[in-house]
Amino acid sequence: MRRLLLASSSKYRQELLSRLRLPFTSCAPAIDETPHPGESAEQLVCRLAAQKAQALAETHPDHLIIGSDQVATLGDSILGKPHTFERARRQLQAASGTTVRFLTGLALLDSRSGRIQSDCVPFTVHFRELDDARIERYLQLEQPYDCAGSFKAEGLGISLFRATEGTDVTSLVGLPLIRLVDMLLAEGVEVP
């Protein structure tokens, strides 16, 4: 079986990939994640997912390398990882009663042939009306400061949602497993 490499140090992506019960290793790629002028959110995540995989190709020959990148968008604004309580509070206040769209770029690179498959998987979250007290309670309990959009859907963050829309809920956490399985099957990897 071909060796799998996850081009990420994200514990969330590692936990998701482990669901497929395929052996893999992970390594963080060193790339510049600065958006290009005029680049759409979708273009950004697709480019970064591919660059993450390609950055590790030379040092990991004969691997299938998985790259993924995600942004959350509120209207025309991109919501990054908040890193602090105050930024997380502002993000959740802005999301209250609205819709946030998550775009997850996914790339699978065969480092032996150079063939790359890529896609962007959208997922939409409709937020409940959130008052300041609820936002503060949530942030103190879960501290989702390393998560785009300031919540953990796999945890208590689900309580902030009114509804969700999308073909693959794992894309919300940052690695769309349904689409990844399609890509792995195209490379001859048997799952399960």
Segment 5-13 mean pLDDT: 93
First to last CA, the chain: 13
Residue reference for tokens 């902030």: 160
- For residue 156, the SS3 value is helix
Say which range, 34-38, 61-65, 121-125, has the weakest mean pLDDT: 34-38
Residue reference for tokens 């992970």: 26
The set of residues, in sequence order, having a beta carbon less than 8 Å from that of 134 and lying 6+ positions away, is: 160
pLDDT in tens, 51-74: 999 999 999 999 999 999 999 999
Q: What integer best gives the mean pLDDT of the chain?
A: 94
- 28-37, 132-141, 153-162, 168-177 — most confident range: 132-141
Alpha helices in the chain (DSSP H): 11-18, 41-55, 85-95, 132-142, 170-173, 177-186
Domain covering 3-186, topology: Maf protein (3.90.950)
**Residues designated catalytic:** 69
Segment 159-176 mean pLDDT: 94
pLDDT in tens, 86-107: 999 999 999 999 999 999 999 9
